[in-house]
């Protein structure tokens, strides 16, 4: 009878300390990379919400203008409000809105082009412009 201790073949041995450390480093890098996605997602969500709100304010002004008559003072050619003034919108006034009215040339002189621009500051100045045409 043979009483010598049995030596396990190489494939049955456990992991070495070096292999374990490499696995931990790889896993840590993966977790940190995934963790970095959360702030980027939050920034993107905030940017999209600000853009949606600006689009809402532009559309709101366009719908309001549908009630104006052709000769209304708000429908005269030019920028409204005049100069560089803007309407401040939102609870903190962070959105700024103005619109530009342009009467088209003949043979389309029965149309006015209205561009409503809403701007705001978030990671730089941004703006959206909505355009419609109103008929006499």
Q: Which domains does the chain have, with CATH numbers?
A: 14-135 (3.30.1300.30)
pLDDT of residue 2: 62
Tell me the CA distances in angstroms from 129 to 31, 32, 33, 53, 96, one per residue in order.
41, 39, 37, 12, 12
Which pLDDT band holds residue 16 (cuts at 50, 70, 90)? confident
Q: Mind listing the pLDDT tens digit for each residue in 42-98? A: 888 888 999 999 999 999 999 999 889 988 999 999 999 999 999 999 888 899 999
Q: Which pLDDT tens digit goes with each residue over 88-135?
A: 998 888 999 999 999 999 999 899 999 999 999 987 899 999 999 998
Q: At what angle do helices 37-65 and 17-35 cross, to 10 degrees?
A: 10
The predicted structure's pLDDT at residue 59:
96
Q: Is the pTM of this model over 0.75?
A: no
The pLDDT score that the predictor gives to residue 7 is 65
Per-residue pLDDT, 92: 84
Mean pLDDT over the full length of the chain: 88
């Amino acid at each position: 009878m043979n009483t010598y201790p049995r030596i396990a073949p190489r494939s049955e041995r456990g992991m070495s300390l070096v292999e374990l450390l490499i696995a931990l480093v790889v896993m840590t890098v993966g977790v940190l990379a995934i963790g970095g996605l959360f702030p980027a997602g939050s920034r993107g969500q905030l940017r999209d919400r600000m853009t949606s709100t600006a689009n809402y304010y532009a559309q709101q002004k366009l719908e309001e203008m549908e009630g104006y008559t052709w000769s209304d003072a708000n429908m005269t050619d030019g920028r409204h409000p005049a100069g560089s003034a803007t309407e401040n919108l939102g609870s903190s006034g962070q959105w700024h809105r103005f619109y530009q009215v342009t009467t088209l040339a003949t043979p389309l002189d029965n149309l006015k082009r209205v561009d409503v621009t809403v701007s705001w500051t978030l990671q730089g100045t941004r703006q959206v412009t909505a355009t419609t045409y109103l008929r006499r």
